[in-house]
Amino acid sequence: MQSISANILDTLKSGKGQLGREAIDHLSAFVRSQLLQDHSFMNKSGESDLYYTSFGWMLCLVLGIHLDTDKMAGYLSHQHEDDLDLIHYTAFKRCELILYMRKKGRALTWLKTQSKQRVRDLNDFKHMPHQNISSPYTQFIWISLLEDTGNKLPEKSKIEKNLEQYRHETGGFMNVSDGLTATTNATTAALSVLGQISNGKQEKAIGFLKSMQDISGGFKAAPSAPVPDLLSTATALFVLKSYKEKPNYQALEFIEAHWAESGGFIATLLDDKSDVEYCFYGLLAIGSALLINEES
């Protein structure tokens, strides 16, 4: 079975394939504008950030933006991986894999390394999403990390048992076991993990996910969210595509509305600042919407 990261990379490539030359150049110019001298990428505050670098390096991989592998290696060599939280540790390992691919000249194939890599134990991390080791989003990050580093996944029954305690009566999932409502983030995370270990349809969870789509085509983060956002839209479309499900409404116009004049994408129409993370989500959303249309 294809890994989550390989699926994401293929979807990003499909998103690029939907764009004309001028659009690709516009997006690429913005991505380059976020690149710092040490070949890391800046966050919303303009500071070097490992998490944003993982998005930036993957975008460069897809868009064909040249990066100096010596500078990439130098940047990673200054990271203290044993001190990183789970999110930044996973970003670090993904950056290592992208650098490996660059050095091998296999830029558009998501390779596993030649042998299994050692990774820290999940219990070793002092900080993780929601400070909850079993939540859907934490499990999504952990499973992605294990796949990227060639490690064996936990037993199917253990994963399913961990996730089931976060299932809401609506069929969706929560990231806290005593939460009041299911959310798009938790549901897409849970469905991504379950899709790697099971062939089950997950009808109720898919039904909840579809119910989060606004008539505009965008998906809301939670039932009470005032407006849909690009992150929720990208991840929801990606999961629906992976499960060969169609959304209730076409989403391309919503996605295009979040492509700013700067060349980057914005989180919501209430925002005015772009970054590489949302460029990633924008391209992922386009690729997912395109593949859904092709399969329908």
**What is the mean pLDDT for each group of 10 consecutive residues in the chain (296 residues)?**
89 96 97 98 96 97 95 96 94 92 65 70 87 91 92 90 93 88 96 89 94 97 96 98 95 96 95 94 96 72
Q: Say if 211 falls within a structural domain.
A: no
Measured in degrees and rounded to the nearest 5, phi and psi for residue 166 equal -105, 5
CB-based burial, 56-76: b 16+ in 10 Å, e otherwise: bbbbbbbbebebeeeebeebb
Query: What's CA 13's distance to the chain center, in Å?
Result: 14
State how beta strands 48-49 and 41-42 pair.
antiparallel
Whether 150 is in a domain gets the answer: yes
274 within some domain: no
Q: What is the pTM of this model?
A: 0.94
Q: Which residue has the tokens 């194939």?
A: 109
Per the domain annotation, does 7 fall within a domain?
Answer: no
Residue 208: inside a domain:
no
Could you tell me which of 98, 84, 196 has the C-alpha nearest to residue 144?
A: 196
Tell me what pLDDT residue 196 has: 92
Using a 10 angstrom Cβ sphere, with 0-12 exposed, 13-18 middle and 19 or more buried, the burial of residue 48 is middle
How far, in Å, CA of 7 to CA of 243, rounded? 12
Determine the 3-state secondary structure of 103 from DSSP: helix
> CA 188 to CA 232: how far, in whole Å?
9
pLDDT at 107: 47
197 lies in a domain? yes
Angle between helices 21-33 and 50-63 in degrees, nearest 10: 150
According to the model, what pLDDT value does residue 1 have?
Answer: 74
For 174, 219, 220, the CA distances from 209, given in Å and listed in that order, are: 12, 8, 10
In this prediction, residue 130 carries a pLDDT of: 76
Domain count, the chain: 1
Domain that holds residue 142: 133-201
The rounded distance, in Å, linking the Cα atoms of 124 and 98 is: 25
> In this structure, are residues 147 and 5 in contact, taking their beta carbons and an 8 Å threshold?
yes
